[in-house]
Structure 1
Amino acid sequence: MRSTLALTVAAGLIFAGAGAAPASADAPEGAYWRVETIFTTTHPHAVGSGYYLTQRRISTEWLSPEGKSWNGFRELGAKPATGKDEAAWRADGSPTTWDYRTEGMKIHLSTKPDKGSIAAAKGRPDGFRLGEKFVTFQQLQSLPTDVEALRTYLAADVNAWIDKSAEEAKTTAPKSTKNDWLVNFDRYVAEWATQLLYANPAPDKVRAAAYQVLKTTKGVSDLGRAEDPLGRSGQKLVLPVASSKGTLLKQQLLVDTKTMTLLAEYTDLKDGGKAVLGKSGVQTFKAGWTDDKPAVPGVS
């Protein structure tokens, strides 16, 4: 998930061009493929007399069938994270803004949403991202629709990325080995399958196959039906745990099994056993075709 932490951790997956039987191409159903992501997390620094805030931010990407991209962003405001934090906030006089400096940067927080922004993506090739390569709409339509064929396709791409990454790492980390990546191999396959559930306009049959790849990947478990923070129902799956140099990443995904689209992602990142605030949290997704032009995200 490019907007998810999982794909940040697993960044670098590249399109290996494995052979595949073409899917039945779905024609674009709108002017843009739109992905809205709302991320809710606990701000990493205590404010005021020592209480913590929950932050919400929205990011939206518009992709045209030609692969042009626009990105919108907006801070949705902050509020005390827990009942205890709210009591401390009230004792401080219920401030509506907070300012502090950290690592030479000035941080400003507010209970009110900011004005947001919208801009065409810069420095980005035209196309739809698959791992670290951009492909055309037609190439996206030609992905395998058979579950095992798609699994083989994704696994080949993951292996190609691991080979390249392990070789490149020798210049900065001579003691690193290919096993440093292989330990999380199944997770990488699951993550890329998840990407096909929302990040780009894959055909319906490809999404259905991607869900089955995800669900049956080694280390993935099924928690049954659940609801996301927006009250939407889906199937909750747990990804294989990822670990590297003291960090531990646990994630759960909620998938709408009628539309085969990702609804939410729950992230629990720990470093040395301590939760990494600001990166742990929950993201909700809304993905689909639209004719609405790129605009500053609204207040949700």
Structure 2
Amino acid sequence: MRGRFAPSPTGYIHLGNVWTAFLAWLQVRQQKGTLILRIEDIDEQRSKPEYTQALLEDLAWLGLDWDEGPGKGGPYGPYIQQERYSLYEKALQELQAKHLLYPCYCSRARLQAIGAPHEGEHHLYDGHCYGMPEEQRRQMDRKPSWRVHVPHVSVSFTDGSYGPFSDYLPRVCGDFVVRRADGLYAYQLAVAVDDGSMGITHVLRGRDLLSSTAQQIWLMEVLGYTPPSYTHVPMLIDASGNRLSKRQQGITVRSLRDRGVQADAILSALALAGGLVSERRLYHKGELLRLCNFQTMTTHDIVLGDTWLDELIHA
């Protein structure tokens, strides 16, 4: 087993990040596999080196160690996305050679105007620029983004938490961007290349990314990689139903540590809230590794209200 935790250094990590990191660590350690830490910093405007350093410190304080990644090295590096751009460019060239890429000149205003026809549906691209004549392209006065043209196929997979899926690509993702107009690589391309080239066999991540799994599997297969097995886990939400955010400073690891909360107390409280253990008490990391049971983990989003946080802080 080769699993990974792949955070973005756009702020200090919070309980939502810890929840995913803990479960990824737990899955790999229980199977005596290899855990990779990958820094996903292709969002160059929001990613900061100081957040990367803080992330490494916070994970170390929590005791969530990794086997390959920053500070460790390994045979599949580099482990920081901004150092992997040559791999993404090579992937784009492969997609171009397969006649799957095309430039998209649509403005942000036009893309927003397309909208989603019904509440809760994806904002799918309508293929406006697909098949545009070369002469018309030469007349465009703006830099294009680059989209991959998806075929009329369904991708089937079985999620470790939510069971079997069969997603029809034109309906779940449509033709999606792999390189933005400003030259930055898109997440879907980077994650497919990284998971494939690093030999990741198991991906555990938040349920919010479940809807993009089919397109990533398809893209990995097109690029010649073997897709991993996926397990999506419930999100941590506040009492109002909003997912936890880095903007909520009170729930960062640093804030909790400054208030005297122990690392084991954080992990114990999350394990209990997620249904991995049944007894409310302080577990040491070795106990969590031995006792946590993925089979009993809830599939519903987990509410962490003010009472929950107060109990954690004053435990």
Alignment TM-score, normalising by the size of structure 1: 0.25
Greater strand content: 1
Identify which of structures 1 and 2 has the higher relative contact order when contacts are C-alpha pairs closer than 8 Å and 6+ apart: 1
Greater helix content: 2
